[in-house]
Amino acid sequence: MLFIFLALFLISCNNGAGPDVKTRRPGKRELAELNSYMVQKDRERIENYIERKNIKMNESPSGLWYKIKKEGSGRLFRDSDRIEMDYECSLLDGTLCYTSEKLGSKEIILGRSELEPGLYEGLKMLKPGGEALFILPPFLAWGIIGDSKAIPPRAILVYKVKVINKK
C-alpha cells in the first residue's frame, strides 16, 4: 500500500512531462504531507495490533505505546544508571528480531549506550525489577533504514522488557 502511494506520488510530480523534461522534486510541504501520512498509517497499524491482542496500553506524548506490567521498586531509572535486562524485540507480525534468550541479557548505561529513542524513553518509566511492554513506531525505533540486520526499514517494534538488575 505504501509503495503504491509513493509511486503515485512520484508519478504525479512528473505532471505528464516527457522523458526530456526534468521532474520537479517534492518540496517541503509535500514531504511533510507524506511523513504525516506515514506516521498516521503506523499509528493505525499499532492501534489495530493493540485491539487484536486486547491489550490496555497508554501512549506517551512522543508516540511511544507502553504497558507497565510490573512496577518494580525503588526510584525510576535516570541517566547514567547501569541496567541489566532481559528482552524480546519483535515486529508487529510476531517475527522475532532479537532476544536475550539467544543473545544474553543486555547491559546498558542509560543515556550513554546506543538505544532506540523509544526504548530509552520506556526504560526511564521503570524501576529496578520492573517489567513492561513497549511499542515503538519507526520514528522512535530504527527509522527508515532499519538496523541492516534483523530489523527492516520502517519497522514498528514490540519490546518486552524485564529489568533484572540495576548496578
Distances (CA, A) of 11 to 2, 26, 72: 14, 11, 53
pLDDT at residue 13, as a whole number: 52
Pair (110, 33) in one structural domain: no
pLDDT at residue 5, as a whole number: 45
Pair (64, 41) in one structural domain: no
Burial string for 7-30 (b: 16+ CB within 10 Å, else e) reads eeeeeeeeeeeeeeeeeeeeeeee
Pair (147, 73) in one structural domain: yes
Q: Find out whether 58 and 133 touch, Cβ atoms under 8 Å.
A: no
pLDDT at residue 91, as a whole number: 98
Query: What's the whole-model pTM score?
Result: 0.83
Pair (101, 124) in one structural domain: yes
Q: What integer is the mean pLDDT of 18-45?
A: 84
Q: 21 or 102: whose pLDDT is higher?
A: 102
DSSP structure string for 7-45? HHHHHHHHTT--TTSPPPPP-HHHHHHHHHHHHHHHHHH
Confidence of residue 24 (pLDDT cuts 50, 70, 90): confident
Question: What is the average pLDDT value for the chain, to the nearest integer?
Answer: 89
Confidence of residue 7 (pLDDT cuts 50, 70, 90): very low
Q: 15 — alpha (psi -120 to 50), left (phi > 0) or beta? A: left
Pair (127, 45) in one structural domain: no
Pair (30, 98) in one structural domain: no
Least confident of 23-27, 64-68, 109-113: 23-27
Pair (63, 46) in one structural domain: no
Q: What integer is the mean pLDDT of 11-36?
A: 71
Summarised one tens digit per residue, pLDDT across range 74-116 is: 999 999 999 999 999 999 999 999 999 999 999 999 999 999 9
Pair (43, 115) in one structural domain: no
Residue 75 is part of which domain span?
58-166
**Measured between alpha carbons, how far is 151 from 91 in angstroms, rounded to an integer?**
8
Indicate which CATH number applies to the domain containing 128: 3.10.50.40
pLDDT at 51 over 50: yes
Pair (144, 69) in one structural domain: yes
Q: Indicate the number of domains in the chain.
A: 2
Distances (CA, A) of 21 to 14, 15, 77, 119, 150: 9, 10, 57, 46, 40
Pair (130, 68) in one structural domain: yes
Pair (42, 67) in one structural domain: no
Q: What integer is the mean pLDDT of 48-54?
A: 97
Pair (46, 68) in one structural domain: no
Strands 96-99 and 157-166, bridge-based pairing:
unpaired
